[in-house]
Amino acid sequence: MDKFSKDEVKELERIHKEMGEKSVDQNFCKSVAISFSSSSRRAGKASLTWEQVRHWFQNKLKESETNVASSTSSMDLYVDLSEASILRNGQKSSSNAKGKQAEDISELTFEARSSKDVAWHDVASFLNYRVVSTGELEVRIRYAGFGKEQDEWMNVKEGVRERSIPLEPSECHKVNDGDLVLCFLEKDDYALYVDAHIVQVLRRLHGPTECRCIFVVRYLHDKTEEGVPWNRLCCRPTQEENVPEEIPLNPLEDLWG
């Protein structure tokens, strides 16, 4: 049996999380074993071998595989209505009654907030999923228009939601002050979709095919405001009670290679 201390297990968990799907070789396991064995906290205890470290990672991999179901096209999962509500609205369903009919979420479309540029991107497919030690669900995402190099694991509750809907010129009357929207933010060196709140709608008379209204938005990431036309807005399918966390953008990150 591999006898690791609690601190060593925490460190191994941290290393495992940082490495993701990367494999560990003999040299790596040796360096970890030497680091642990030379620690003052291990004084008086037997030194660890690289085989013990490798065995821990192998067991961790087997444990992860029991929680991961792979799919080449979409996350072919059936979840109860409360879990589906978390995916769509970022909040729990008001009803937790058991015995509800399972709902197939494969027909829904989603967007995810990348950890790289902290902007929202359309999800092409869910490659697989896992339940982490906290009990929360994470999914591996393939972004629309990008290859496997940009795939990343995402916490469902924090970074995945039902896809926003582009505003139609004939539906501007549905947008109200205070609404959460997805807004196309365009600068000289980047263009990203980010969350914003509607501060004010300057309504103007117009026909059904071209909206002349101006929408004053306040971006969540930096609190700046600007007036934008209808074609830069996407509406949320529902107005969530839980507003997304205000995280600064990272537009200069080399996201896509």
- 8 A C-beta contact, residue 244 and residue 195: yes
Least confident window among 35-39, 172-176, 189-193: 35-39
Helices (H), 148-253: 156-159
Highest mean pLDDT among 26-35, 62-71, 229-238: 229-238
- Under the banding of pLDDT at 50, 70 and 90, the label for residue 87 is very low
pLDDT at 48 over 70: yes
Better-scored residue on pLDDT, 51 or 250 = 51
pLDDT at 73 over 90: no
CA distance 89 to 72: 25
Collapsing DSSP states into helix, strand and coil, what is residue 122? strand
Kindly give the pairing relationship between strand 160-162 and strand 152-155.
Answer: unpaired
pLDDT at 182 over 90: yes
Radius of gyration of the chain (CA): 23
pLDDT at 83 over 70: no
pTM over 0.75: no
- Written as one letter, the residue type at 18 is E
- Under the banding of pLDDT at 50, 70 and 90, the label for residue 188 is confident
pLDDT at 44 over 80: no
Least confident window among 62-71, 153-162, 223-232: 62-71
Highest mean pLDDT among 41-45, 145-149, 221-225, 227-231: 227-231
Q: What per-residue confidence (pLDDT) applies to 187?
A: 84
pLDDT at 196 over 60: yes
Q: What per-residue confidence (pLDDT) applies to 45?
A: 77
pLDDT at 218 over 90: yes
Q: What per-residue confidence (pLDDT) applies to 242?
A: 57
CA distance 225 to 219: 6
Mean predicted confidence (pLDDT) in 12-41: 80
